[in-house]
Structure formats: structure tokens, C-alpha cells
Structure 1
Amino acid sequence: MKKVRYGIIGLGNMGRAHALDLIHEVKGAELAAVCDTSPERLEWAAEHLPDTVLRFSTPAQLFASKSIDAVLISTPHYDHPPLAIEALKHGYHVLIEKPAGVYTKAVQEMNEAAAQSGRKFGIMYNQRSNPLYQKLRELIQSGELGEIRRTNWIITDWYRSQSYYNSGGWRATWAGEGGGVLLNQDPHQLDLWQWTTGMMPKRVRAFCQFGKYRNIEVEDDVTAYVEYENGATGLFITTTGEAPGTNRFEINGDNGKIVVENGKLTFWRLRIPEPKFNAEFAEGFGRPECWKCEIPVPEGGGEQHKGILRNFTNAILHDEPLLAPGEEGIRGLTLSNAMYLSAWTDNWVELPIDSDLFHEKLMERVESSTFRKEAVEQRTFDVKGTH
């Protein structure tokens, strides 16, 4: 195979951006086909994409065409797992947009299908290509920070106005999106939280405010506390209703503290690890000597979406290791599912979560969602050929 022939399902904002990147920016990739249930979006494809790009109105038609090698799924969240499973069954490599899905039960089925397929499976976690977070992961995984004691991420710069939510009836609804700030805005941070530290919590206690700042049915304000197996603790605070917002990630370990903020990486490095200092210091008041180290990181955010597309293409052509394996999408989703479940049950949630209980609680909210079930059925792709 000299080139990977891609087919994109879903021509919303991200699908269109991916289409143009595949045409102009990704060596070894070829945009062979697009698929959308919307005639207007297929008209956009006819106007803006080369005549050689095939256009399909259903995934079933795309899958049956055998005109592609890989499928890029850029549809509403609920559709990611069923479309990925069907594409894998047809023998295609699959790259999905984030989040992996809405609930872990469906995502686990998708992961199992991928494991049995023998095909490449990736997820569009483009922030993993950001040198800032790559360097943070390197520092932690190498042991420079020592054993982690605490993680704190304040990510409150996701400001969204009421007009944003009013722009689509599916927005910020349980039936349309499956969640709010945790599922729409925060999937990258939830992924990076566990990817950079290499740690998943053992239990979660979260407090979600639903429609606190905007007239919506899903959460727009969250404070979550987590505990890790090694005794470390963590805090995750997020909202779409504050201005100005903050994006600050702190990780404290035996050897100091790392702060990620404003595109900079600062390592407050202890000359003597805190446990050693504490064991040897006998003068009462005092603290370890600390050096403020500005860690050099290349400017810019890295290759982002293009980087994931290039990596996924090279994985197919040259067996390059995936930067964002699709199977890892369940980790960030597990964190958001656990936060919802904790808020809904007003209790701690142990990991791994009870996926059946979560699905039951979610469906209760879908049934009473302001986004009508008929609209969901009309919007959702049906891999059997209707929509």
C-alpha cells in the first residue's frame, strides 16, 4: 500500500477540517470518500473537494463501496462506537473523533471489536501531539518528579454563552450530546490528566451543577475529588460559565512541583526529595531548598489534528506506534462517567465503574431530555443503511 484511502463519516466543522487536511497536509493519505446524511453537507463536499472524492448518504453505502482503506468518524458522540464496530467488521482501519463515546459499556464493545479485527484503531486526541504535554509526561514518567502526591487541574476557560447553546437543539442535552462540559469541552483534559501522570484514580467523588449558569439540562459546572492507589489525591474543576477562566495544571511529587499554565512548563525542583529532607532535618522550622526551573518547550501547540492524521497514516503504512490508540479513549470517558454517576447517586464511585448502572441512569435522563427522541433517531446514523 503506497497511500491510505480515507473515508470520512460526518461533515460538520471537524469533518470538513479533516477533509481539507487529508487533501493538502498529510503525506501518504488520500481522501477517497465522504459520507453525511445531510444533502447540504454533501453539496459542500461537491463544491469544495476534488471531483475524485466519492460522496455517500449512508455509512452502509460507504462501507459497501470498498473504495477506502480507513474510516475517520466525525459524527455526534453516540454514533462513534456503533459506526466504528461496523467499519471494523468490514475490514477498515478506524480513527474516531473524541470522545470515544458517551458511556463506557458501548466503548468497551468497540474496544473488543478493535482487538479482534487486526486493524489499526485510533482516537483524535490531538493534544497528545502538543510538546508541552509530551514534555510533562516525559518528566513524570522518567521519575524526575518522584512519586506523585497530588494533581490539581483548574480548567475554567471554556466560556460558552447562551447563544452558543441555542444554536442547535441537540446541544447540551442528554439525548443529543450525552453530557455537557465534561463530554463536550473536557475530553482532552481528562485524557491528558491520566496520560501524563500514568495514573487512574481508584475512586471519585464529584459535584456537578446542571444548568447552573445557562438554560441547559446538562452540567456546566463540576468539582471532582479523586483518590489514587498510592495515596495521592487529585482535584478537577471545570465550567463553561466563568469569565475570565483559568487553565492551570499542577502535579506535586516527592521531588517538587510541576505547573503547566499559559503555555509554559515550570518545575519547582527540590534539591533534596521531601521524604529525605523530612527524615534528616532536625531544626524545627525549615523546608527543602527549591529551584525554579523553566523547562524549554517548543513554541506552538505541535501538529495537533494533522499530527494525529500523519501518525495514524504512518501506523497503517509503516507500523509506526500510535500516539493515541483508540482503546485508550475509555480512560478519559471512565473519569467523566464516574463524575456523573457520583453526582447522580450523591456518593463515592469506585473504579472500574458499574457500567450497567451508569447506562441505566443516563437513559433515564435521555427519556426526559428536551431533545426529542424522534430527532435523535433522525440524526443518528444507522449502519444498516437508513438514518
Structure 2
Amino acid sequence: MDKVRFGIVGIGNMGSSHAKYLAQGTVQGAKLTAICDNRPERLTWAKENLGEEVRLFDNVEAMYASGEIDAVLIATPHYDHPTLAIQAFQHGLHVLCEKPAGVYTKQVREMNEAAGKTDKIFGMMYNQRTNPLYQKLRDLVTSGELGEIRRTNWIITNWYRPQSYYDSGGWRATWAGEGGGVLLNQDPHQLDLWQWTVDMMPVRVRAFCAFGKYHNIEVEDDVTAYVEYDNGATGLFVTTTGEAPGTNRYEVTGDRGKIVIEDGTMTFWRLRVSERQFNAEYKGGFGQPECWKCEIPIVGRETGHSGITQNFTDAILKGTPLLAPGVEGIKGLTLSNAMHLSSWLDDWVQLPIDEDLYYEKLQEKIRNSKFVKVTKEMTMNTDGTY
């Protein structure tokens, strides 16, 4: 195989974006050959903008069985991700899945098990893993340069969304349609990076979610979560879609210093000796370790969605290691599920979570919902977005 033939399921905002860069030949070794969407207007847009060579389908089974594709990029609403991925594996297709991996870990675990039974490549669209700042942070942590992790703190509140955003789709911001709010829609990248950069998951979570605090929605739009790690470290995650102007500041502290990523830059305050060593050896009344503000070389540039798709294509054609393996999608989702569950139970939640209990509580939310969704059609832009 010298070309990976891609089919895309779902041509909404993200699906149309993926379709455009694939159709333009941005990804070497990849070719867009098929599109599937059950909305006639989206297929009309695809026909007008993606070229005559791209086949159009309104049935995913037909596209999977067509022989026109080698890999599928799934860009549908969240609940469908695992089901569509499992179907694709059964048809012998490679799978690249948009975030989040799913809505609840029980269904994602089934997707991972299906992937494990094949020799096909399975990737997640965690495009922010291509950001060299986060790659360097992971490098500094895993190499031991920062020492033992003491604290993680991510304030990610620059997700402001007006009410019109939530009104733009019938599935948005409902338990039945989306399965959550800011944690499921906006934050999957940060939740993934949070555990990926420090290379560890918490052991327990206590979260406080506010549901419909700033918008007429039934899911969370404001979250403050506290976590504890096995080594005694603690962490804080704060997020919302109702705050303007927002902040995006990620801080990781170890016993050898502190790293802050904010405004597209990294700052590393490095201790000359570890805090533990200084604490044991210093004999004065007041004092602290000598600290250097270090310039860290950042190599490369963020390649985003097309970068992940290029890496995925290279994994198929050349055996290149995946930057974002699909089986790792369950980790960030575990964090959001734990935050929901902690808030619903008003208590601590241990990890790994009780998957059956989470599913039961989610179904209760769906079953008992009294929320009336009001949908207002938005105007489609010429680039296929709204």
C-alpha cells in the first residue's frame, strides 16, 4: 500500500475541517475517497467542495463495505464513537477517532478490546499532543528533570460559549445527546494532556460540577476538581464555558522546581538542589533552595489535526509509533467520568471508577431529564462550518 484511502463519518464542523485538508493533499500518503453523513445538506456541501472523486454515502455500513477505504476518521457526536469504531474494526479498517473516545468508559473499554483483536492501527485525534510545549513538559517530567511530582494545577477557563452555541444542535449539552458539557466537549484535550504530561493518573477525585450555571443547559458548564496521586501529590482542575476573559495556565511542581505553560510559552524555575535535600541539610532559620529561571529549548511546531492524521497515516504505511494511540482515549475520559460521578454522589471517587455505577447514574440522568431543548438553526459558512 502506498496510499491510505480515508473515509470520514460525520461532516459537521470537525468532519468538514478534516475533509478539507485531506482533499487538499496536506497529509502525505493519504487520500480522501469517501464521506458518510445522514444529512442531505452536508452531502450537498461535500459534493460541491470536495471533488467528484469523493464518493458520498448516507449509510455507514455501505461505506465500510464499499472497498473504497482503508481507514475511517470518525467525527460524529460522542455516543457513536465506540460503536462506529467497533464496526470499522469488524470490516478490517484502520480507525482514527475524534475526541472524546466515548461518553462512558464502559463503552470505550469495549472499543479498546475490539481494537486489540485486530492488527489495524487505532488512533485518537488528540491534536494537542503535537504541541512541542506539552511534548517538552512530558520529556522533562519522565526524564526526572523536574523530580518527583508534588502538584499539578490547570486552570482552563478560556472556553467561553454563548447560549447560541448550545442552541445550534439538538444533541448539544444534553445527557442523552452529548453525555456531558464542558468536560466532554471542550476539555478532552486538557484532560488527556494532564495525565499524559505527568505520566500518571490520580487515585481519587473530588469534584464540584455546576449544571447549567451560566447557560440554559442541563449539563455542566463550570467545574472545580481536586485529585490525589499515589505518590501523595495533589492536583486541581478548574474549567468553565461561562467566564470571559478566560485563563489557560498549566503548572506542574516537582521537588526539583516548577514549570508553567501559559500564553504559548514555557517557564522553568529549576532548583539547584532538590527541596528534600535542602530541607535535610539546611541549618538556618529561614531559607530556600537556590532557584534558576531556565530557558528551555522548544523544538518544532504544533501541527494540530493534520499532524495527528499524518502520524496515523505514517503508522499504517511505515510503522511509525503513534503519538496518540486510540487505547489511551480511556484515560482522559476516566477523569471526566470520575468528576461527574463525584459530583453526582457528593463524595470522593476512587480510580479506577465503578463503571457500572457510572453508567447507571448516567442513565438515570437521561431517564429523569425534564429539560426541553430549544434548537435554533445557524447559518452555514462557505467553508462548511457554522
Same fold (TM over 0.5): yes
User: SS state of the match for residue 221, structure 2?
Assistant: strand
- Per the alignment, residue 306 of structure 1 pairs with 306
Q: Contact (CA 8 Å) 2:182, 2:220: kept in 1 or not?
A: yes
- Per the alignment, residue 209 of structure 2 pairs with 208
Matches within 5 A, 1:1-387: 1-24=1-24, 25-297=26-298, 302-369=302-369
CA distance in 1, matches of 2:76, 2:180: 15
Q: Contact (CA 8 Å) 1:170, 1:371: kept in 2 or not?
A: no
User: SS state of the match for residue 108, structure 1?
Assistant: helix
| Amino acid of the structure 2 residue aligned with 1:14 | M
Q: Contact (CA 8 Å) 2:218, 2:371: kept in 1 or not?
A: no
Q: Contact (CA 8 Å) 1:175, 1:372: kept in 2 or not?
A: no
| Amino acid of the structure 1 residue aligned with 2:282 | F
CA distance in 2, matches of 1:31, 1:371: 40
* TM-score for both structures, normalised by structure 1: 0.94
CA distance in 1, matches of 2:371, 2:285: 62
CA distance in 2, matches of 1:340, 1:94: 28
CA distance in 2, matches of 1:8, 1:112: 22
Aligned length: 373
Q: Contact (CA 8 Å) 1:145, 1:253: kept in 2 or not?
A: yes
Ranges in structure 1 where 5+ consecutive residues have no aligned partner? 376-387
User: SS state of the match for residue 205, structure 1?
Assistant: strand
The C-alpha deviation readout for 1:261-281, integer Å capped at 9, x for no partner, is 000100010011100001000
CA distance in 2, matches of 1:110, 1:60: 17
Ranges in structure 2 where 5+ consecutive residues have no aligned partner? 376-386
Q: Contact (CA 8 Å) 2:100, 2:184: kept in 1 or not?
A: yes
Which runs of structure 1 show a deviation greater than 6 angstroms over 4 or more consecutive aligned residues? none
CA distance in 1, matches of 2:132, 2:300: 8
CA distance in 2, matches of 1:369, 1:38: 27
| Amino acid of the structure 2 residue aligned with 1:280 | E
The Cα of 1:52 is off from its aligned counterpart by: 1.1
CA distance in 2, matches of 1:337, 1:264: 30
The Cα of 1:165 is off from its aligned counterpart by: 1.4
The Cα of 1:66 is off from its aligned counterpart by: 1.4
Q: Contact (CA 8 Å) 1:10, 1:74: kept in 2 or not?
A: yes
Q: Contact (CA 8 Å) 2:103, 2:179: kept in 1 or not?
A: yes
The Cα of 1:222 is off from its aligned counterpart by: 0.5
| Amino acid of the structure 1 residue aligned with 2:163 | Q
* TM-score for both structures, normalised by structure 2: 0.94
Identity of aligned residues (%): 70
The Cα of 1:78 is off from its aligned counterpart by: 0.2
- RMSD over aligned CA atoms reads 1.4
User: SS state of the match for residue 77, structure 1?
Assistant: coil
The C-alpha deviation readout for 1:161-194, integer Å capped at 9, x for no partner, is 1121122232111111110000000000000000
